[in-house]
């Protein structure tokens, strides 16, 4: 028959249960601390690795036990941002000016023909004779609405010369014949008058200081001495006296043997003449031996 437990046994059991509960709670706390310690160790280890990587990347290089500190890289002058920006703007401005140039450029031939002394549009616009040039251009260049055609400088020059010739209002050969400036054919006076018209443009059929052909030039010069010469090489050749080349003197006529041209002898193998279209009155060497000399006399 089983013995009935006494109070001492029950007390032992109660003590054992309390001890087990205390031990259980302590083990839980210790396990929790262990887990926290492991997490902290992992965090510390990770931080240590990061620090090691940082210091390794920034560690000075050692060469023969001497530490060499890497210098900061310096950009060359042409690689700097401000230099690149300046160069880019300069090139852009140059390209813009180059593309704009044809709209403002002057044709050298036209500028030379028009006797421009500058290629500045502003200076040309401010010049005193700008209005005259504009009027001349309107009178000489024909424009048709909706069409465009290039005009050569020589053609513009010819049209301008013809316009000046048509509008000439100065003295004519007939005026000088009515009131001669000289009473005798002195060679020095003839050359002085002939030289006054050097640079006058050639105009076919011209007989005024606005334009001469060869015989028109000769007739205008001698009209100032009271000598009426026809406007023709053939007729002028018949009005004088033929002289030998060695006896020729300044003021005599130089007539081509084929009667295609004449001028005024200036001595030393030279003569004043109005050569051809596109040229001007000039003093030049007699360029052919196929000539003869004619001496004029007062009537």
Same domain, residue pair 238 and 132: no
This prediction has a pTM of: 0.52
| In a shared domain, residues 157 and 235 | no
pLDDT tens-digit map of 124-171: 555 555 444 444 444 444 545 555 566 678 888 888 899 999 999 999
Helix (H/G/I), strand (E/B), else coil: 31: helix
In a domain, 61, yes or no: no
The verdict on 160 and 264 lying in the same domain is no
Report if residue 62 sits inside a domain: no
Tally the domains of the chain: 2
Based on the fold, state whether residues 154 and 253 are members of the same structural domain: no
Residue 209 falls within a domain, yes or no?
yes
Q: Is 152 found in the same domain as 253?
A: no
**CATH code of the domain containing 253:** 3.90.1720.10
Do 239 and 288 sit in the same domain of this protein?
A: yes
Say if strands 270-273 and 262-267 run parallel, antiparallel, or are unpaired: antiparallel
Q: Taking a C-beta distance cutoff of 8 angstroms, is the pair 202, 277 a contact?
A: yes
pLDDT in tens, 183-201: 999 999 999 999 999 999 9
In the chain, which residues have pLDDT < 50?
A: 1-2, 11, 13, 62-63, 65-67, 103-106, 110-114, 116, 119, 130-141, 143
Domain residues for the domain of 278 are 173-295
Is residue 180 domain-shared with residue 268, that is, in the same domain?
yes
- 26 torsion bin: left (phi>0), alpha (psi -120 to 50), beta (else): alpha
With respect to residue 13, please indicate whether it lies within any of the assigned structural domains.
no
Q: Are residues 179 and 290 in the same domain?
A: yes
């Amino acid at each position: 028959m089983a013995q009935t437990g006494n109070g001492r046994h029950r007390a032992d059991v109660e003590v054992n249960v309390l001890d087990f509960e205390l031990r259980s709670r302590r083990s839980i706390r210790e396990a929790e601390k262990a887990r926290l310690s492991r997490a902290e160790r992992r965090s510390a280890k990770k931080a240590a690795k990061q620090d090691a990587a940082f210091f390794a990347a920034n560690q000075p290089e050692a060469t023969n036990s001497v530490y060499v500190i890497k210098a900061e890289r310096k950009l060359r002058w042409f690689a700097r941002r401000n230099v690149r920006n300046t160069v880019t703007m300069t090139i852009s401005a140059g390209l813009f000016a180059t593309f704009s140039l044809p709209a403002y450029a002057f044709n050298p031939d036209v500028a030379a023909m028009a006797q421009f002394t500058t290629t500045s549009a502003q200076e040309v616009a401010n010049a005193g004779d700008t209005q005259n040039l504009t009027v001349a251009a309107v009178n000489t260049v024909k424009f048709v609405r909706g069409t465009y055609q290039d005009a050569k400088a020589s053609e513009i020059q010819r049209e301008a010369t013809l316009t000046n010739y048509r509008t000439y209002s100065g003295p004519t050969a007939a005026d000088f014949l009515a009131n001669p400036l000289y009473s005798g054919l002195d060679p020095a006076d003839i050359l002085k008058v002939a030289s006054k018209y050097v640079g006058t443009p050639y105009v076919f059929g011209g007989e005024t200081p606005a334009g001469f052909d060869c015989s028109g030039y000769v007739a205008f010069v001698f009209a100032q001495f009271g000598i009426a010469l026809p406007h023709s090489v053939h007729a002028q050749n018949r009005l004088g006296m033929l002289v030998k080349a060695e006896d020729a003197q300044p003021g005599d006529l130089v007539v081509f043997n084929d009667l295609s041209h004449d001028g005024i002898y200036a001595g030393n193998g030279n003569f004043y003449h109005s050569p051809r279209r596109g040229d001007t009155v000039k003093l030049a060497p007699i360029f052919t031996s196929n000539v003869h000399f004619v001496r004029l006399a007062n009537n």
